Amino acid sequence: MKSIIRAAIFASALVIPVASFAQSTAHTTRAQVRAELAQLESVGFHVGDGDATHYPDAIQAAEASVAARDASASSYGGVSSSTSQSGSRVSAADWNAMYSR
């Protein structure tokens, strides 16, 4: 019985450190932070303007503006005034030139 308890303790000692490292390994780079700050500044948010009392509201409003701008830029649909062609006919001479030896 004691060997079962020892085995359970040993197994849990091996499992606990593995579970503690189950975090995301994605780190934010300096370039990503600068790009995010540039996006926030493009919608009117200024870092360090001295208004610490409205900071949470201001940053959330700026992030919402960036999200809305990005959503409108990547939305589907809309009117297109351009035309496109999906292909053209291939003549027998072209076909023979491509596929005969």
Q: Report pLDDT digits (tens) over 72-86.
A: 776 666 556 666 666
At 73, the amino acid letter reads A
Tell me how many domains the chain contains. 1
Give 44-63 pLDDT, tens digit per residue.
Answer: 888 777 777 778 888 888 89
- Residue 57, domain member (yes or no): yes
- Residue 44, domain member (yes or no): yes
Residues spanned by the domain of 63 = 28-72
Task: Encode 1-39: b = buried (16+ Cβ within 10 Å), e = exposed.
Answer: eeeeeeeeeeeeeeeeeeeeeeeeeeeeeeeeeeeeeeb
- Residue 48, domain member (yes or no): yes
- Residue 37, domain member (yes or no): yes
- Residue 54, domain member (yes or no): yes
51 φ/ψ angles, rounded to the nearest 5 degrees = -100, 75
- Residue 56, domain member (yes or no): yes
- Residue 35, domain member (yes or no): yes
Report pTM: 0.46
Cβ atoms of 58 and 51 within 8 Å: the answer is yes
